[in-house]
Amino acid sequence: MPTTVVDRLTPIQRKLILIAFDVTATALSFYGALVIQYPNNPLAVSTLFHLKSFVAFTAVRIAVFFWFGLYDLVWKYASVFELGRVFRSVVVGTLAMMALQFMLGVHRVSGRVLIVDALLNLLAIGGIRFSLRLYRDYLVHLSDASPKEKESVLVIGAGDGGEMIVRELKKNPRAAYSVVGFIDDKPSMQGKIIHQVSILGTIDELPDIAEKLDVKTVIIAIPSAPGHLIRRIMNRCESANLQFKITPNLSEVLGGRLPISQVRNIAIEDLLGREVINTDIQSISAYITGSTVLVTGAGGSIGSELARQIVRFSPSQLLLLDHAETDLYHIDMEIRQLAPDLRVHPIVADVKDQVRLNYVFQSLKPTVVFHAAAYKHVPLMEMNTEEVILNNILGTRTILELAGQHKAAEFVLISTDKAVRPTSAMGATKRLCEVLCEFAQDRFPETKFTGVRFGNVLGSQGSVIPLFKQQIENGGPVTVTHPDITRYFMTIPEAVRLVIQAGALAKGGELFILDMGDPIKVVNLAKDLIHLSGFSESEIKIKFTGLRPGEKLYEELFFDKRGLLDTPNKKIFVARSTSHNLENLEPQISLLIESCYRKPSDALKEALLALAHQTLPESTISSTRTHQS
């Protein structure tokens, strides 16, 4: 932005100039009110308008302006909020003048004169200040802007998001885009004008409008747009050979990660069409603010996002625990930048190491534990059954017992949809982790133990999206295991926000299920990613490779929908508790762990799956085999 005369003034010089303007405006307003009130009586004016009255009233006005902070505001950014402050200061100043006359027993100026004076003063004081905003927004920028260097664009969406993006682009002389029109499907908006920009037509008319105006790029400015709408807009743009950008979605805006005016390329997450998640900030703050929070698996996709979101609720300490040194280093550095005043403890440790973890609990005393540490890669864990049992089951049991023994207030287990009717070693271990969480609640009633189950998260380590992107960069093919394979998908920030909210809803012993929406065909994700990368399916082929070991054709989030109960958050459900024979299962789990050191993997996996199936509700056991590919 260009430097103006006002910008070169020191703060003291600006304040003195504004005071001088205000003194002049006050004098002229007062004199104008007298002339208006007594137009045919110059003698009354000359009698009333004397030096003592002017000095007294001016002193009152300036004192009130100081009290309301009018000399501390940056007026070149003034908005309706600042105008309201000017209005209140003028009204209070007028009331103070009336009170001053009454206390002194002087009634030389009528109330009608003071009311007219207030109106004139409001116009003068407000006009002086908002002229600075006008000067900044229009005169300077119009003279400095270079329209010929800007790319003409159409903005889709004439709502709040569209208005904000147009306003920001108009204010910024160095913006790369110049908006030449709006596109909106609402019939009531057609032909209307926002910030001198007309609404030209609907999405279906987009190709014709773009061709007529010689526009090559459109900006989608609908932060809450569902995925099907974005996909429809994409199809219209591709048919007209138009480039397309998008403003951040509401979760990014509300999370403070991006301003709404920052456009970017459309990402695969935008096509999910997930609704904005409403969280109860007060209930979350009640159990996180001021607490010592431990996140296991803090270097992973879920653990690192948990850390980012937890710092927003001002814990007293944040303990980041992971066995992967490099990942832990990166999230530690990131959190220290996000919250430089927060006490952060990076802890390199293995969740199976009871001695090391006991020292952590004894010395740092975590009161809230989010357990995200787990092996999650299904095919890889089919070949490493011993390790997935030890890391997932033994590690979870160790953390659960220490949290209970040291009387942590809350423990939240991150689970997965693969725990429902498990057919893989990884899924079976996570099902047993859910059961261990129930066991812990019975053994340690002073701690609230709860599990949160959800499906795949886009962009996580091991997600199909990074793999697809790499395959596209290499020229293809993009490999999909089966044309009909479906998965539940959710963005990482969305999943974590619901996990934290579920912790606030916990009373102890619950298993929460997140609403993942409708399952999505993986092949459709692959096609979308190919198009978003600027290719067609004829250029980047899709190859079907067959289901991998332990992989299901489709996943489930619950055993029986009738067993789900609502919670205050419509995106979170709680599963009815299933009864288990604690005396029978706990020794078997211990024996399974001990067997990792002596049994071959095939026998271990068979024992693992058999034990996990014992925990399923009776009605689901017979149908489990039908879900195995």
Q: Take residue 19 and report the two structure tokens written for it.
A: 């005071």
Sign of CA dihedral 22, 26, 28, 32: positive
Residue 84: how many other CB atoms lie within 10 Å: 10
Q: Crossing angle of helices 601-614/582-595, nearest 10°?
A: 170
Q: Does the active-site annotation cover 150?
A: no
Burial (0-12, 13-18, 19+ Cβ within 10 Å), 411: buried
Yes or no: say if 393 and 589 are a contact pair by the CB < 8 Å rule.
yes
Q: Take residue 319 and report the two structure tokens written for it.
A: 């303990």
List beta partners, residue 544. 480
Which amino acid type is present at position 608?
Answer: L
Query: Cα(324)–Cα(389) distance, rounded to whole angstroms?
Result: 18
Show the CA angle centred on residue 307, arms to residues 305 and 312, nearest 5°. Answer: 105
Who contacts 280 (Cβ-Cβ below 8 Å, separation ≥6)?
A: 501, 504, 568, 569
Kindly report the backbone phi and psi dihedral angles of residue 442, in degrees, each rounded to the nearest multiple of 5, phi listed first. -70, -35
Query: Cα(274)–Cα(85) distance, rounded to whole angstroms?
Result: 39
Nearest to 371 by CA among 339, 394, 342: 394
**Cα dihedral angle (388, 389, 395, 397), rounded to 10 degrees?**
150
Yes or no: say if 96 and 60 are a contact pair by the CB < 8 Å rule.
yes
For 206-214, the CB contacts below 8 A with 24+ separation are 206/154, 206/156, 206/233, 206/236, 206/237, 206/240, 206/242, 207/236, 207/239, 207/240, 207/242, 209/154, 209/181, 209/183, 210/154, 210/240, 210/242, 211/240, 213/152, 213/154, 213/180, 213/181, 214/152
Residue 222's SS3 state is: coil
Q: Take residue 492 and report the two structure tokens written for it.
A: 């990482």
Catalytic residue among 418, 448, 552, 605: 418
Q: What b/e readout covers 537-563, taking b as 16+ CB neighbours within 10 angstroms?
A: eeebebeeeeeeebbbeebbbbbeeeb
Read out DSSP for 51-95?
A: HHHHHHHHHHHHHHHHHTTTTTS-GGG--HHHHHHHHHHHHHHHH
Nearest to 363 by CA among 309, 311, 406, 322: 406
Residue 583: how many other CB atoms lie within 10 Å: 7
Who contacts 14 (Cβ-Cβ below 8 Å, separation ≥6)?
A: 6
Query: Cα(196)–Cα(193) distance, rounded to whole angstroms?
Result: 6
Active site residues: 418
